[in-house]
Amino acid sequence: MAQAADAARAVILTVDDDPGVSRAVARDLRRRYGEVYRVVRAESGESALGALHELKLRGGLVAVILADYRMPQMNGIEFLEQALDVYPGARRVLLTAYADTNAAIDAINVVDLDHYLLKPWDPPEEKLYPVVDDLLETWRATDRRPVAVTKVIGHRWSARSWGVREFLARNEVPYRWYSSDEAEGRRLLCAAGADGLRLPLVITPDGTALIEPNDHDLAARVGLATTPAARFYDLAIIGGGPAGLGAAVYGASEGLRTVLVERSATGGQAGQSSRIENYLGFPDGVSGAQLTDRARRQAAKFGAEVLTAREVTGLEINGAARVVRFSDGSAVAAHSVILATGVSYQQLEAPGVADLTGCGVFYGSALTEAAACQGHDVYVVGGANSAGQAAMYLARGAKSVAILVRGPSLSSSMSYYLVQQVTSTPTISVRTNTVVEAAHGTHQLEQLTLRDTATGGTELVDAQWMFVFIGAAPRTDWLEGTVLRDPRGFILAGPDLTADGRPPAGWELDRPPYHLETNVPGVFVAGDARAESAKRVASAVGEGAMAVMLVHRYLEQS
Ligand SMILES: Cc1cc2nc3c(=O)[nH]c(=O)nc-3n(C[C@H](O)[C@H](O)[C@H](O)COP(=O)(O)OP(=O)(O)OC[C@H]3O[C@@H](n4cnc5c(N)ncnc54)[C@H](O)[C@@H]3O)c2cc1C
């Protein structure tokens, strides 16, 4: 019993290669926090990472990590960078000598350091405890997810097993994966009375077993908010990518009762990026998951309500109210709406590809599947930045990565910095003038037929993994008859709606539509879904913020 209570306590982890210092930090921490937190100490980055992994598997919480900067093998910054992947919500402190303060300052960007502490920290009452007190308070306010481990029992080549893992990972729901053909997986299937023919089986922390659940049921069972708390809001935002999250932060922080509705997982396309290197303020790049985590916490901090796994399928105008209808027929109303629905991956149209999606063929999911590609040959289809980033990420573990590009070169579609990275990575090769003609495999991808568009020749290659990044299109059909769009489905707004200075048909106000306003007053668009938008994280965030400013203007006048 005492052991169980101990395991349930959140952890403060400290790592220092000097045993004396390590013991001293742990002693000081225990003295002040030992009753509430479990203080865990390690004497190397590797063993600290080991401890973090173990805690993660058991569903443990980690509140604060203190790491010494100068450690052999893995220094404190390298360790914190890896620890961040395991526990992104844990607050991070670097212990440094005075001479290393520059390294500590650099680390603020690299690992999003919360604090650096100069050694020695005596007296702790003055130098250590105030810092840790603050960090614990921040952690408690933002990371109070229950200690819970959802179990997913599935098979690598089951498309829905992959879908469930992707959904849980992108929503930062901790889960543990068991293969259905491993002993523990079989035991869990048996305990749930499942035959294993329909996978995955999901066991929620309270012991409920769900077979092949859809995203909506899964979200509700693992504690993600799926139903609005109110019936009427000042602002409803549709889409939880950078534009939607940006709008939620600004809307809620400026006092608007704000609800954000997301079909799948917050982060949108950016959430799938392994490293965004051109977003202002992150000179060393930031992963989409980290950016999303921070944005979501920021939106929540200001009081925005975020609904997950709710697809919006209709927009109705009911007098001054804008009614947002969900796929199950229920609805929520608001004074104003921001459409931030972005774009979705285009499907690769070739025989065999659709059937093998999730079974070796993936769209933009390089992050969750990368570990499984370890030591394998991988194909990445596409010549734009998203394909380049994925190739760089996959190349960390894959035996080889071949980028298949339809055009004659990479440089016309990929940023210069990425072309440089790709071409200087020995395990990445680029095959230009190449298209996928067909995908073959019975239960999983086994081979690809590639065609050289210059010569017309075809080649059959063995392949277990193919990641497709061939452009994207907006999915805005549900706005038909309400909101005007261009022939490709992108939403028209502001000046793009006016012809010869005349407002769009049916526009009844004296003023023309505001810059990001659609043909429906009070309904705005931000980010990639807008016609002629920049298709960048920064511009999507910026448009989200600007749309909120225009919402205020609209509300003042209506
Ligand atoms: C792999 C990858 C790497 C990238 N790297 C970079 C980079 O390094 N730098 C950069 O500047 N840009 C990058 N981009 C582009 C950048 O991510 C996008 O420009 C940006 O995400 C657009 O933001 P958004 O909010 O407009 O749309 P999205 O990110 O597309 O988000 C839209 C959201 O709306 C949701 N949604 C859609 N329809 C509905 C509905 N009916 N109901 C409810 N929710 C809905 C979707 O599920 C999605 O979460 C990258 C894109 C990808 C795919």
Give 372's DSSP letter.
G
In the reported structure, the alpha carbon of residue 389 is separated from the centroid of ligand 1 by a whole-number distance in angstroms of 15
In the reported structure, the alpha carbon of residue 317 is separated from the centroid of ligand 1 by a whole-number distance in angstroms of 26
Which among 299, 199, 189 is positioned nearest to 241, based on CA atoms? Answer: 299
**Whole-angstrom Cα distance, residue 476 to residue 488?**
10
**Whole-angstrom Cα distance, residue 386 to residue 536?**
11
Q: How far is CA 198 from CA 159, 175, 354, 355, in A?
A: 11, 19, 20, 17
In the reported structure, the alpha carbon of residue 214 is separated from the centroid of ligand 1 by a whole-number distance in angstroms of 22
**Helices marked H in 128-158 — which ranges?**
129-142
**Whole-angstrom Cα distance, residue 412 to residue 410?**
6
Burial 154-189 (b: 16+ CB within 10 A, else e): bbbbbbbbbbbbbbbbbbbbbbebbebeeeebeebb
* Ligand 1 contact via 537 beta carbon (within 6 Å): yes
423 phi and psi angles, rounded to 5 deg? -75, -20
* Ligand 1 contact via 324 beta carbon (within 6 Å): no
**Whole-angstrom Cα distance, residue 371 to residue 397?**
7
Q: How far is CA 85 from CA 80, 241, 271, in A?
A: 9, 20, 14
43 is written with which tokens?
Answer: 């004497």
Q: Is 532 left (phi over 0), alpha (psi -120 to 50) or beta?
A: left
- Nearest protein CA to atom 11 of ligand 1, as residue: 536
**Whole-angstrom Cα distance, residue 441 to residue 345?**
23
- For residue 528, which atom of ligand 1 is closest to its CA? 26
String of DSSP letters for 234-282:
EEEEE--SHHHHHHHHHHHHTT--EEEE-SS-TTTTGGG-S-B-SSTT-
* Ligand 1 contact via 364 beta carbon (within 6 Å): yes
**Whole-angstrom Cα distance, residue 290 to residue 297?**
11
**Whole-angstrom Cα distance, residue 118 to residue 99?**
10
In the reported structure, the alpha carbon of residue 475 is separated from the centroid of ligand 1 by a whole-number distance in angstroms of 12
* Ligand 1 contact via 273 beta carbon (within 6 Å): yes
Kindly provide the residue ranges of all beta strands, DSSP E only, lying in 442-512, ordered along the sequence. 447-452, 458-462, 465-468, 472-473
Specify the 3-state DSSP secondary structure of 211: strand
Q: What pLDDT is recorded for position 3?
A: 45
Query: Tokens 């980055």 — which residue?
Result: 45
3-class secondary structure per residue, 305-339: EEECCCCEEEEEEECCEEEEEECCCCEEEEEEEEE
| Residues 240 and 262 sit within 8 Å (Cβ to Cβ) | yes
| Residues 368 and 169 sit within 8 Å (Cβ to Cβ) | yes
Which among 83, 72, 89 is positioned nearest to 50, based on CA atoms? Answer: 83
In the reported structure, the alpha carbon of residue 394 is separated from the centroid of ligand 1 by a whole-number distance in angstroms of 21
443 is written with which tokens?
Answer: 């239960």
- For residue 267, which atom of ligand 1 is closest to its CA? 49
173 is written with which tokens?
Answer: 């729901």
Q: How far is CA 394 from CA 98, 312, 427, in A?
A: 38, 33, 10
The preferred substitution site among 170, 226, 269 for testing ligand 1, maximizing ligand atoms within 8 Å of CB, is: 269
**Whole-angstrom Cα distance, residue 447 to residue 429?**
18
Residues across the chain: 558
What contacts 242, CB < 8 A, 6 or more positions away? 268, 270, 291, 295, 527, 537, 540, 541, 544
**Helices marked H in 122-241 — which ranges?**
124-127, 129-142, 159-170, 183-191, 215-221
The preferred substitution site among 308, 341, 369 for testing ligand 1, maximizing ligand atoms within 8 Å of CB, is: 341
In the reported structure, the alpha carbon of residue 245 is separated from the centroid of ligand 1 by a whole-number distance in angstroms of 11
The preferred substitution site among 170, 273, 313 for testing ligand 1, maximizing ligand atoms within 8 Å of CB, is: 273
**Whole-angstrom Cα distance, residue 41 to residue 11?**
10
- Nearest protein CA to atom 9 of ligand 1, as residue: 276
> What's the gap between Cα 173 and its chain centre?
11
- For residue 343, which atom of ligand 1 is closest to its CA? 30
* Ligand 1 contact via 271 beta carbon (within 6 Å): no
| Residues 64 and 139 sit within 8 Å (Cβ to Cβ) | yes
* Ligand 1 contact via 240 beta carbon (within 6 Å): yes
In the reported structure, the alpha carbon of residue 242 is separated from the centroid of ligand 1 by a whole-number distance in angstroms of 7
236 phi and psi angles, rounded to 5 deg? -110, 130
Distance, first Cα to last Cα, the chain:
61
* Ligand 1 contact via 536 beta carbon (within 6 Å): yes
- Nearest protein CA to atom 26 of ligand 1, as residue: 527
In the reported structure, the alpha carbon of residue 408 is separated from the centroid of ligand 1 by a whole-number distance in angstroms of 27
Determine the residue type at 418. L
* Ligand 1 contact via 535 beta carbon (within 6 Å): yes
In the reported structure, the alpha carbon of residue 271 is separated from the centroid of ligand 1 by a whole-number distance in angstroms of 7
In tens digits, the chain (558 residues) has pLDDT values of 344 445 578 999 999 999 999 999 999 999 999 999 999 999 999 999 988 877 765 657 899 999 999 999 899 999 998 888 768 789 999 998 877 777 777 777 777 788 888 888 889 999 899 999 999 998 988 755 544 579 899 998 889 999 999 899 889 888 889 999 987 788 778 777 889 999 999 988 777 899 999 999 999 999 899 999 999 999 999 999 999 999 999 999 999 999 999 999 999 999 888 889 899 999 988 989 889 999 999 999 999 999 999 999 999 999 999 999 999 999 999 999 999 999 998 999 999 999 999 899 999 766 677 888 989 999 999 999 999 999 999 999 999 999 999 999 998 889 999 999 999 999 999 999 999 999 999 989 999 999 999 999 999 999 999 999 998 899 999 999 999 999 999 999 999 998 788 889 999 999 999 999 999 999 999 999 999 999 999 999 999 999 999 999 999 987
* Ligand 1 contact via 385 beta carbon (within 6 Å): yes
- For residue 272, which atom of ligand 1 is closest to its CA? 1
Query: Tokens 């709710």 — which residue?
Result: 310
**Whole-angstrom Cα distance, residue 471 to residue 348?**
10
| Residues 229 and 221 sit within 8 Å (Cβ to Cβ) | no
Q: How far is CA 411 from CA 3, 175, 417, 448, in A?
A: 58, 40, 10, 25
In the reported structure, the alpha carbon of residue 541 is separated from the centroid of ligand 1 by a whole-number distance in angstroms of 11
In the reported structure, the alpha carbon of residue 66 is separated from the centroid of ligand 1 by a whole-number distance in angstroms of 34
In the reported structure, the alpha carbon of residue 457 is separated from the centroid of ligand 1 by a whole-number distance in angstroms of 36
What contacts 67, CB < 8 A, 6 or more positions away? 14, 15, 16, 45, 48, 76, 79, 80, 83, 92, 93, 94, 95
